[in-house]
Amino acid sequence: MSDLKYNFTDKELKLLNSNKAIKLLLKDKDNFNPEKVLRYVKYEKRLEEFQMELIKLQQWAINEGKRICLLFEGRDSAGKGGAIRRVTHHLNPRNYRVVALPKPTEEERGQWYFQRYITRLPNPGEIVFFDRSWYNRAVVEPVNGFCTDEEYERFMREVNNFETMLTNDGIILLKFYFSITKKEQASRFKDIMENPLKRWKMSPVDEMAQELWDSYTKYRVRMFAETNTKNNPWIVLKANKKTAARIQVMRHILEKVPYK
């Protein structure tokens, strides 16, 4: 250990002397790595700063009766759910909802496609997080044969007008796409399958994701080309590093929502 040399600033040394950093260092004494611990403590500090600011944003939405709709899209295991948990961690649970819809019921299959999503849109003073949204029909459904070609094409013709109606009515809509590499997805799937506490996350659709990688890519490319509009653009986040993606999505929310 005496051969190790570090060049920390006074500010960084102060962070390393915090209770959280010391606990992390002591927790893994066999793999002593203060640089890694410093990166994590910096991430936690930045996360907390953004979470405090998100509380102000939520309070503004409540006071002004604003409706905020956030879409979280991306490949399986891209980190959408984890990012939503960090964003909502300190928010007032009475004024936000996370929507992660199961497959449609028999009744819903006979409805206009957007109908099941309309009923989950935010009320005044509320933020709604869609952990996958109506964009299931743009990628997941056609790749896995869950919709017909006609249904897919109809969706692609209608979705931009649908979103324009939402924003014209005053809903603040942000569309996030979490982008990961094929190698990173395979690594995360392996971690899920080896961890009994995470194994529930793996669905039959997930199990086919690597095999169908190129097909997902083809539909995703068309989705971006046709739905990345001036008024409702996609915000693409590089998500191979989960911590960086979480910070980025918070930064974009705080920048794009015009709260005071």
pLDDT at 31: 64
Quick check: 45 and 20 in contact, CB under 8 A?
no
Tell which CATH architecture fits domain 66-256.
3-Layer(aba) Sandwich (3.40)
Please give the Cα distance from 127 to 56 (Å, whole number). 13
Which amino acid type is present at position 84?
Answer: I
pLDDT at 162: 98
pLDDT at 22: 54
Please give the Cα distance from 123 to 69 (Å, whole number). 10
Rounded to 5 degrees, φ, ψ at 237 are: -110, 130
- Output the tens digit of pLDDT for each of the chain's 260 residues: 444 567 777 666 666 667 665 565 556 655 656 676 777 888 899 999 999 999 999 999 999 999 999 999 999 999 999 999 999 999 999 999 999 999 899 999 999 999 999 999 999 999 999 999 999 999 999 999 999 999 999 999 999 999 999 999 999 999 999 999 999 999 999 999 999 988 888 888 998 999 999 999 999 999 999 999 999 999 999 999 999 999 999 999 999 999 98
Q: Strand 67-74's sheet: what is its strand order?
A: 96-99, 126-131, 67-74, 172-179, 234-238
pLDDT at 42: 86
Is the entire prediction scored with pTM above 0.85? yes
pLDDT at 134: 98
Provide long-range contacts, Cβ within 8 A and 24+ apart, for 1-8.
1/32, 4/32, 6/34, 6/35, 8/34, 8/38
Burial class, 10, CB count within 10 angstroms (exposed 0-12 / middle 13-18 / buried 19+):
exposed
Tokens of 22: 């010391």
pLDDT at 4: 54
pLDDT at 2: 43
